[in-house]
Amino acid sequence: MFRLVLLGPPGAGKGTQAVKIAEKYQIPHISTGDIFRKNVKEGTPLGKKAKEYMDKGELVPDKLVVELVTDRLDAADCKNGFLLDGFPRTVFQAEKLDQYLEVKGIALDKVIDISGDEEVLLERMIGRRVCRACGAPYHIKNMPPKEEGICDICGGEVYQRADDTEETVRNRFQVYQKQTMPLIAYYEKLANIIHIQSAGSPDTVFASIISVLGV
């Protein structure tokens, strides 16, 4: 059983690793980015508010995020652990999370910080494309679809996420440096943070994560 947080700059592959970790340790994968994107797609009031910030690469206001996550952590499937992906992202969110866990008498087991070279991550993200229908990921240079703009798997439209344009990606990095990087020092003090390099294939990165977590 693990209570985990995944931390890292945009494009470091948190989502990819999160899916693998959640599967291996049989814990729910809670991605605030995914929750917001789902709300945007469904046009909910939360989605409408979140979209304004997301499209610019800004963070959604803390107030809207914290309650969403703590409500999710109250669900029965989080009793035996959870993996938070993309939360906390500010020191305020981390403090709120700590308060929540303290009241419940539980604590985080590990914070996994995946880091990478900014220029490499930028290149990765600006070239990133995704199928609108099935979500399959592509990359214009490294993994283009066989036919431009068309998904190999389902024939759906391959497009660029509004927050993957160069301008927005550069802003997301600045936001990460200003608002999320301070969390590394915050968790360093609690002595339960591990650092993983995002260079290498997803399988290599996953191997280093499980070697630290064990079993």
Residues at the contact surface with ligand ADP, assessed by CB under 6 A: 10-11, 14, 32-33, 36, 53-54, 57-60, 65, 86-87, 89, 93, 163, 172
The residue ranges of DSSP E strands in the chain, in sequence order, are 2-7, 29-31, 81-85, 110-115, 128-131, 137-139, 158-159, 193-197
- Which CB atom, from 86 or from 156, has the smaller least distance to ligand ADP? 86
Residue nearest to ligand ADP (CB): 33
Whole-angstrom Cα distance, residue 4 to residue 86?
11
The answer to whether 114 and 14 are in contact (CB under 8 A) is: yes
- Which CB atom, from 4 or from 54, has the smaller least distance to ligand ADP? 54
Give the amino acid at 201.
S
Q: Which of 14, 51, 124, 129 is catalytic?
A: 14
Window 138-197: residues binding Zn ion (CB under 5 A): 151, 153-154, 156
Edge-to-edge strand ranges of the sheet holding 2-7: 29-31, 81-85, 2-7, 110-115, 193-197
When binding is defined by CB under 5 A, the residue of 46, 91, 106, 136 that contacts Zn ion is 136
- Contact residues: Zn ion, CB under 5 A: 131, 133-134, 136, 151, 153-154, 156
Catalytic annotation, residues = 14, 89, 128, 161, 172
